[in-house]
Amino acid sequence: MTGDAHPMWLPDAAFRAVGSRRVLLAASTEDVVVDTVRDEVRRATTRWGGRFDEGATSAGHDLLLTVDVGLEEGEYVVDRADGATRVAAGSSAALLHGLHHVVRGGEDAFDGPDGVERQRPAQRIRMLDHWDNVDVHDVMGQVERGYSGGSIFYDAGCLRDDLSRAQEYARLLGSVGINAVGLNNVNVHRTEARLLMDRLPDVVRLAEVFRPHGIRVYLSVSFAAPMTLGGLPSSDPLDPTVQAWWSARAADVYRAVPDFGGFVVKADSEGQPGPFAYGRDHADGANMLARALAPFGGTVFWRAFVYNHTQDWRDRSTDRARAAHEHFAPLDGRFDANVVVQVKYGPMDFQTREPVSPVIAAMGRTRLALELQVTQEYTGQQQHAVWLGPQWAQILSFRLLGPGGPTVAEIAGGLVAVSNVGSDEFWTGHPLAQANLYTFARLAWAPDADVAAILDEWIGLTFSGPDGSPVDPVVRDSLHAILDDSWRTYEQYTAPLGVGFMVRPGHHYGPDVNGYEYTPWGTYHFADRDGVGVDRTRATGTGYTGQYPGPWSDLYESLDTVPDELLLFFHHVPYGHVLHDGTTVIQHIYDTHFAGAARTEDFAKAWTSVEGRVPEALYARVADRLAEQVRCAHEWRDQVNTYFRRSSGVPDGRGRRIF
């Protein structure tokens, strides 16, 4: 692992405005998070020639940092008046967030107009899950679906001795308000299960890494642990000896880590054990763990990602998209208060385009968290520049209960995502994938923020000059040219009209139109010589549309009203079906694939303009990845177009070359 990693959005330069000011820290409480605030300010003022004082009285300070217990725990107020900026925060963590709010503001934080701004996180839970394995897994490696080198926590079976990268990561996350981190893969293997037992000292050390940044740590646990670790004959959640075993484990963990967050559970899913083995349901399972954690204030994140992964492809009646709703909607109201049901944003699995999961509308009496995927499993694996901000913003602002109802962000009580970092020197493999991590955290704080502004903010922090000068406009323009519409570009050359999973089985990179068509995974497009798509209507299909509340239920049901971008997710149509823009489905497939592949060439070209304006190593890395994106996008274009040309027999209306 490179010791000297890229600073992401916290280069020294980002602290110039604060660091060149006179800063007073007047914290009425003392804890390790206040220590972090103190360290940040001291470092910044030392670097940039400002002044740092502590104490109750201000005399000629430009920035005052205070804790005000009268405020809500998570909130902070920034008050600019009389030439001074004052941050009052409801807690030490909020003070850290407030400090970074000022850092992000730069000179504007001091020179802007007077006024009061109150900041309060929209999501109480702002969490990153790490699918890191302690032992290198035979197939999945050190980090499952990790595209950024090794784990920053573990190396070949052990917690790293040197946790400096983890510390830097914790600092980065704390700066943007992340307050929870899952420490291990939701697929819990043998060694990882022992984090709960004899490897608990590893958890203690990681908790010490994250605590100074206002972040609690969580463990993914195996539902079978009472048997595999505890030697009990069963893991039945209604068995008192099983309950007692979990209670003892919770007590152990909290003795070692008093501010431990809780458990993350993937149960009865893709081979992981769960309550079904005992004829119990997922409320039984989740509540058992919740009751073990409750005395200590802990929380269970129980994933709703439950479906039959040994489906027979011949069976057209089973629909994986329906599974989570079928399993969880009937349980609404039965989960304890410290259970959070964690729902993937779509009904399938982090595809480039899916409708929002109807589970989110069906659990009014349950605490929910929305799960996103920052690691780009199905969106280019950090080989492709794909900024997911627009996708997430669209999901978060979606009014699932109808136009007058709340947004998905308003329904959810938390936002969780699989992280994309690793031991890579740029953290994320593709340096521009840092923008996804940043955007996720900022949207978790403020889901209704303008994502374009978030991207711009990230650019400003990450690409400012070493002397703190503003980012070179050429660099800024180039990054916008590449990233702004990169998600839709990726959609263009990969996943037409809501079709997903046309990827190589196993690793999920690159095209394979029929790769998942005859597998047990429930992921089909049903393309034949006449048409393509999955009929999920109530009238003639799997009935999935019926899981939605109105108006979506009817809107998705009808060919007249279903949005084009989800057409093939909900309907099987002939290739000649005409979209709302007047194009046929087959011509749309051709057009978008030609267009998307061509746009990747524009991306690569746009990047050449920044040569010499960004550090050489970063330039080269991005250039290499863009070249791979161009290659792979053309492979997608040709395979998808050829497949559908062969199937449909329809030539391209514009006479372009299809092989």
Q: Facing residues of 52 across strands?
A: 23
Q: Which alpha helices (DSSP H) does 527-651 contain, by range?
A: 552-557, 567-570, 585-608, 616-648
Sheet holding 84-89, edge to edge: 51-54, 22-26, 63-67, 84-89, 76-81, 115-119
Using CB under 8 A, which of the segments 129-137, 210-218, 457-465, 523-531 binds a copy of itself?
523-531
How many C-beta atoms surround the C-beta of residue 69 within 10 A? Answer: 10
Burial of 314 (0-12, 13-18, 19+ CB in 10 A): exposed
Residue 213 Cβ vs a copy of itself, minimum distance, rounded to whole Å: 38
d(CA 259, CA 52): 30
Dist. CA 212–CA 206, nearest whole Å:
11
Listed residue (269, 331, 267, 346) closest to 536, CA to CA: 346
Find the shortest distance in angstroms from Cβ 205 to a copy of itself. 32
Active site residue 168: no
Q: How many CA atoms lie within 13 A of 332 on its CB side?
A: 14
Q: Stretches 45-53, 170-178, 179-187, 507-515: which one binds a copy of itself (CB under 8 A)?
A: 507-515
CB of 649 to a copy of itself, least distance (A): 5
**Is residue 468 close enough to count as binding a copy of itself by CB under 8 A?**
no
Q: In the bound complex, what is the minimum distance in angstroms from residue 517's beta carbon to a copy of itself?
A: 8
Catalytic site residue 270? yes
Is the C-alpha dihedral spanning 389, 391, 396, 399 positive or negative?
Answer: positive
Least gap, CB of 508 to a copy of itself (angstroms) = 14
Among 518, 560, 654, 655, binds a copy of itself (CB under 8 A): 518
Q: Which of 41, 300, 370, 527 binds a copy of itself (CB under 8 A)?
A: 527
Q: Is 321 helix (H, G, I), strand (E, B) or coil?
A: helix
Does the footprint of a copy of itself cover residue 507 (CB under 8 A)? Answer: no
Answer whether 312's CB lies under 8 Å from 524's CB. no
Q: Of the two residues 59 and 139, which places its CB atom closer to a copy of itself in the complex?
A: 139
Q: Is 72 a catalytic residue?
A: no
Tell me if 262 contacts a copy of itself by CB under 8 A.
no
Catalytic residue among 236, 336, 349, 557: 349
- 648 near a copy of itself, rule: CB under 8 A: yes
Q: Find the binder of a copy of itself among 410, 512, 565, 652 (CB under 8 A).
A: 512
Rounded to 10°, the helix 200-210/164-175 angle is: 50
What x-and-dash track marks residues 616-645 binding a copy of itself by CB under 8 A? ----------------------xx--xx-x
Residue 541 corresponds to which tokens in the numbers above? 């299909």
Say whether 390 sits in a helix, a strand or coil.
helix
Report how far apart, in Å, the C-alpha atoms of 480 and of each of 246, 253, 451, 472 are: 50, 46, 12, 13
Least separation in angstroms between residue 505's CB and a copy of itself is 9
Q: Which of 40, 62, 371, 377 is catalytic?
A: 377
The type of residue at 488 is R
* Span from 146-154, 259-267, 414-422, 646-654 in contact with a copy of itself (CB under 8 A): 646-654
299-318 footprint of a copy of itself as x/- string (CB under 8 A) = --------------xx-x--
513 binds a copy of itself (CB under 8 A): yes
Q: Which CB, 259 or 635, lies closer to a copy of itself?
A: 635
Residues at the site binding a copy of itself, with contacts judged by CB under 8 A:
313-314, 316, 511-515, 517-518, 527-530, 638-639, 642-643, 645-649, 659
Residues taking part in catalysis:
270, 349, 377
